[in-house]
Homo-oligomer: A and B are copies of this chain.
Amino acid sequence: MFDKKFSYNCSSTDGNSRAGSVSTPHGIFHTPAFMPVGTSGAVKAMMGESLEECGVEIILGNTYHLYLRPGAKLIKEMGGLAKFNSWNKPTLTDSGGFQVFSMQPLSKIDDDGVTFRSHHDGSEHRFFAERVIEIQRDIGADIIMSFDQCVPYPAEEKLASEGVRRTYDWAKKGQAHFKKLENESPTGITLFGIVQGSTYPDLRKMSAEQIVSLSFEGNAIGGLAVGESKKEMEDTLAHTTGFLPEDKPRYLMGVGYPEDILMAVSYGIDMFDCVLPTRNARTGMVFTSEGPLIFRNAEFSKDERPLDINCKCRVCQRYSRAYIRHLYNQGEITAMMLTSYHSIYFYQHLMRGIRAAIANKSFSVFRKEFLEKYRQD
């Protein structure tokens, strides 16, 4: 099953941005890639077939959620995440750290890990570096993430520094455990490291050098898109990316808005994940080529135009804003299906455009033209 090894291939560059592909045991995905979030094993309000239609090549699962329900052991018994959810294509799991740290003060953090309570039943659980590796190996995504400490924004330098120290310590412990387990029982799973350091340049540099020294197959930037300004995000990203090797994929976690993705690609980021397209679709906003559209607004009650007049997706070819707005206001599941489908398609279409532009050495023109049409109100 896991005969194909992990590899990253950069096929073209344009400035610092680059296009390529990542091979995994469940197939390849093209980069820059946007990974929709399938929290509990499904991207909300989407079927696998619809994700495929939209051009999605890899989805993310949340370790925290999957560990609690249905449980990592059950997913292992069912053949791993991609088989369990019948996606049968590349998957990635986060480390669970983001969820458990954001549950403070219900979580207790120490140098060895974090003790937290299930949001389902209040039962007590503990995540630490080795355990998170074991859980993710059981869940069995193609790419798994080191256990890291993501600090909130703003963070005192002392806390951010502590986060960097623990993230490095846990990366070493987790990697050693991962290598031991892979030696005993190979799975073909690939482990990525995560850089922390909040918005402190010195801490980001230290964290990046520490994580890079461990020679993971891919490097992620965590701890952004947690409340900092767009300028802080860009400054931190530009600074941090410079320390990450070019021959391995770079993953910006939890990002983001289309304009953030375009910015990050310009610095050489290859992978993204975010709940925005699906979460906003379920709460009244879709992404369009002309900017965010608050489709539930009364002004659209008789609007016969599609959500996005420039979109070729199945939803925009068929359904009007008036209809979708009506369904949404009635609490109809169908509304969330239609809006989620469109926004997932929109993000994949954006990524296809980005990849083509890089291949054509026209990324900066593509970015400029996209942003000229796209109004960020």
Contacts and interface: CB of A to CB of B under 8 A. Distances in A.
Interface residues of A, number: 40
Contacts of A332: 40, 42, 44
B85 A323 contact: yes
A333 B322 CA distance: 22
Contacts of A84: 320, 322-323
A46 interface: yes
B41 A327 contact: yes
Nearest to A317: B86
A47 B334 contact: yes
Contacts of A335: 42
A77 B301 CA distance: 11
B45 A334 contact: yes
A69 to B, nearest CB: 6
Interface string A316-337: 0011101100110110111111
Given A318-B86, A322-B84, A326-B70, A44 B333 contact: yes
Contact of A330 (B43, B69, B74, B338): B69
A315 to B, nearest CB: 8
Contacts of A323: 41, 78, 84-86
Contacts of A86: 318-320, 323
A78 B302 CA distance: 7
A77 B322 CA distance: 11
A368 interface: no
Specify the main secondary structure of chain A where it touches its partner.
Answer: loop
A103 B210 CA distance: 68
Interface in A78-116: 78, 84-86
Given A42-B327, A78-B322, A323-B85, A337 B301 contact: no
Nearest to A78: B322
A49 interface: yes
A246 interface: no
Contacts of A41: 323, 326-327
B304 A78 contact: yes
B45 A329 contact: no
26 contacts: A40-B326, A40-B327, A40-B332, A41-B323, A41-B326, A42-B327, A42-B334, A44-B332, A44-B334, A45-B337, A46-B334, A47-B341, A48-B318, A48-B319, A49-B318, A65-B330, A69-B330, A70-B322, A74-B301, A77-B302, A78-B302, A78-B322, A84-B322, A85-B323, A86-B319, A86-B323
Given A40-B330, A70-B329, A337-B337, 17 more contacts: A40-B327, A41-B326, A42-B327, A42-B334, A42-B335, A45-B333, A47-B337, A48-B318, A69-B330, A70-B322, A74-B302, A77-B302, A78-B302, A78-B320, A84-B322, A333-B333, A333-B337
